[in-house]
Structure 1
Amino acid sequence: MIERFHPIGVPGQPWGEAERSAWRAQQRRQRSYAEDVLDPLARLHAHWDVQAYGELDYAPDFYPLVALHGCDWDHARPVALVTGGVHGYETSGVHGALKFAADCGSAYEGRINLLVVPCVSPWAYEHVQRWNPAAVDPNRSFGEHGAALESIALMRLLAPLQGRVLVHVDLHETTDSDESEFRPALAARDGKPFEPNGIPDGFYLVGDSENPQPQFQQAIIAAVERITHIAPADAQGMMIGSPVVAPGLINYPVKSLGLCAGISGAKYVTTTEVYPDSPKATAAQCNDAQVAAVCAAIDYALAHG
């Protein structure tokens, strides 16, 4: 018998609609997508074209989905893709993408096409949640796994760019709430026991095990470690249950898991993981680490093709 570790549902039994509704009823808006994301986007017209690529109708809430295209877009050039806020609660993913667009976009004009999607999951951003209102994780819903509206909208945006994306950086965080809230909720939703994995203390990357690109990944680590500390492996040489294959690096089969990092088909792909709850890191450092990761990734891709 599975011990109760979450207030919703019956231990060992996957959630039905009643449990999902109970979970949804507990969620409260804690911040504003319009103020934190849409308003800053409106101030970036000097170097960016703002494109609405869909909308989410989560009555009574309505969210326009917005992407930034470099205003010097040239179809002869490859594309650099930056995605943030696939997990809306991961704050520096959103604000790091916005900061990159505001501070660094002009440095790449004439060199590569930039496409930045700063907040893939606006409802989750406002409610500081990992899932969407249907209790579905957008970052397990890409490709054939498409069950989240957020993921479907992003895949439609990127469909015309297949074969043209050179580098894709997906901005994430690993937080203490992963272990205290989100992983227990996932286990309860799926009717499984909760097995703690621990939280790495510092920045790390998740590469694609089918296309690992270790030199690319280490170039990003080298840039970020000037901003914030890199997470060490645990005593078993692991992070969150996966082997550490190089300093600050683990690999996942991103496509088979339905992760955002698997949708672009880019040669160079990585998922960043910032640790905002560390006593050795500030919110500003987390945002700066995301920006440093994006710049290092694009610089490496431009240098190596």
Structure 2
Amino acid sequence: MSKPYSIGEPNQPWQAHHKQQWLNEQQVKRSYFKDVVSQINALETQLCKEQYGTLNYHNSCYPLYALKSKNWQPNKPTVLVTGGVHGYETSGVHGALSFAQHHVSHYEKTFNIIILPCISPWGYETINRWNPNAIDPNRSFYENSPADESQLAMEYITALNCDILCHVDLHETTDTDNSEFRPALAARDGVQNHNWNIPDGFYLVGHTQTPQPEFQSAIIEKVATVTPIAPADASNQLIGVPVEQFGVINYDGTALGLCMGMTSAPYVTTTEVYPDGASATPQNCIDGQVGAITGALDYLINNH
């Protein structure tokens, strides 16, 4: 367990003034426009850029962009890649962009590809798990979502009216999960905080409704060539969840309102990169995310 969080009272959920206090403490630390939108704009020669919404937060306006195959063909299977649902998880955003820059031209021969590289730009700029309303977008992918980030992404994908074969959602598990984000969550909800053991390496979260163990194994095998795979802890768990196979746990993404549950795709995985490891670098974290996407698509090309 960690020390009590600085906002709120023990065992009492936050009220509006607590959320406002939390929001007042958040600061912009990097630029969505400089880091992300500039790269999206540079990809317009390769992919269609589509604005699927705008987030208006206080004095800030964030356009939301999707990148989509230019040569869209209804007879091709469709793949969805999402990043930055949790804006602080940097390699998810830049892994999606790196895949778009270096690999889309190869894979769009086989697939229609949709990339939502940064679903939560305010979270990216403030290095935050939540949006400004203290809502976690990755627990908000359900009808009438309280998070605009989630609602707008779902509306965009629904409007495309296509069957999605595969969805790869790019995330990180960081040391700040225990130092900041889980304590904040417990304080917000008025419950006792219990930190989890941070896995030392990369792992995947499969969907309990469509676990696809061979698909998950193929991704793990590919990622293992660029970044370490997390071993199970002494209880044969990762983040308190039983390990289903090497490097893989399963969640019911639909019931939990996770991004990976937003479609009915039969092949679904959520990546979890560990950027705080002794051997981790920003580049090999990005490479791990790219390896997960390409590993997933290679598997589908060879087996589907």
Tell me the residue number matched to 1:249.
Answer: 248
What is the rounded CA distance, in whole Å, between the counterparts of 1:76 and 1:285 in structure 2?
35
Alignment of 1:30-179 (within 5 A): 30-144=29-143, 146-161=145-160, 164-179=163-178
How far residue 302 of structure 1 moved from its aligned partner, in angstroms, is 2.7
Secondary structure at 1:216 match in 2: helix
Tell me the residue number matched to 1:14.
Answer: 13
Aligned residues: 304
Q: Which amino acid aligns with 1:177?
A: T
Q: Does 1:28 align with 2:27?
A: yes
* Superimposed CA distance per residue, residues 106-155 of structure 1 (whole angstroms, 9 cap, x where no aligned partner): 00233110100000000000000000000000000002371100000000
What is the rounded CA distance, in whole Å, between the counterparts of 1:302 and 1:254 in structure 2?
25
How far residue 160 of structure 1 moved from its aligned partner, in angstroms, is 3.0
Q: TM-score, normalised by structure 1?
A: 0.97
What is the rounded CA distance, in whole Å, between the counterparts of 1:296 and 1:143 in structure 2?
28
How far residue 198 of structure 1 moved from its aligned partner, in angstroms, is 1.4
**Structure 2 gaps, min length 5:** none
Percentage identity across aligned positions? Answer: 51
What is the rounded CA distance, in whole Å, between the counterparts of 1:197 and 1:269 in structure 2?
24
Q: Does 1:191 align with 2:203?
A: no
Secondary structure at 2:34 match in 1: helix
Q: Which amino acid aligns with 1:103?
A: H
| Between 131-140 and 102-111, the greater mean CA deviation after superposition | 102-111
**Structure 1 gaps, min length 5:** none
How far residue 15 of structure 1 moved from its aligned partner, in angstroms, is 0.6
Q: Alpha carbon RMSD of aligned pairs, Å?
A: 1.3
What is the rounded CA distance, in whole Å, between the counterparts of 1:27 and 1:14 in structure 2?
20
Q: TM-score, normalised by structure 2?
A: 0.98
What is the rounded CA distance, in whole Å, between the counterparts of 1:211 and 1:28 in structure 2?
39
What is the rounded CA distance, in whole Å, between the counterparts of 1:111 and 1:3 in structure 2?
48
Q: Does 1:218 align with 2:221?
A: no
The 8 Å contact of residues 224 and 293 in structure 1, kept in 2 or not, is answered as yes
The 8 Å contact of residues 142 and 151 in structure 1, kept in 2 or not, is answered as yes
Secondary structure at 2:301 match in 1: helix
Distance 1:213 1:3, change over 3 A: closer
Tell me the residue number matched to 2:290.
Answer: 291
What is the rounded CA distance, in whole Å, between the counterparts of 1:286 and 1:143 in structure 2?
29
